[in-house]
Amino acid sequence: MKICFDTSVLIAAVVDQLPQHTRALEVFANFCESDHEGICSTHCLAECYSTLTAMPLPRRIQPHEAWQIIEENFTKNLTIVDLKRPLYLKTLKRVSQLGLRSGIIYDALHLACAESAKCDQLYTFNLRDFKRLNPEGPTLVSP
């Protein structure tokens, strides 16, 4: 089985101060112990870095720590899909044709990655937004 992870699940899996941490960590740990293939996009890694270094935690995550978290947890356990120009343009067209605005483009890029990689499931805590994108392929799952 091929599983795509979006930023919301990956961040919650590695930041124990978030309310979804236990559920996300369980899903990610179970995935890591399985023989399933995990996917995330290059864009997802950039979002993870941005989120990790911006979160208002009692002890802020420093840039070098964010890189270590990403490298040790995500790049070692997931196949990283490089989103190319045609996929970006197709995704921009998709959200514009659906009349969607603003940050949903980032969820659309995760979905486009999952669809192009022919993933069976996409894990996210943002089910509502992903459903607005009319997914073609992966089953949307919230941990």
Give the pLDDT score at 137: 87
Q: What is the CATH number of the domain that holds 41?
A: 3.40.50.1010
Q: Which residue range is the domain that position 29 belongs to?
A: 2-126
Q: Is residue 16 part of a domain?
A: yes
Q: Is residue 142 part of a domain?
A: no
Domain total for the chain?
1
The closest of 141, 120, 140, 119 to 26, measured between CA atoms, is 141
Give the pLDDT score at 135: 83
Give the pLDDT score at 54: 97
Question: For 44-136, where are the E strands, in sequence order?
Answer: 79-81, 121-123
Q: Is residue 138 part of a domain?
A: no
How far is it, in rounded angstroms, from Cα 128 to Cα 143?
14
Q: Is residue 136 part of a domain?
A: no
CB atoms within 10 A of CB 122: 26
pLDDT band (50, 70, 90) for residue 63: very high
pLDDT band (50, 70, 90) for residue 85: very high
**CA within 13 Å, CB half, 39:** 23
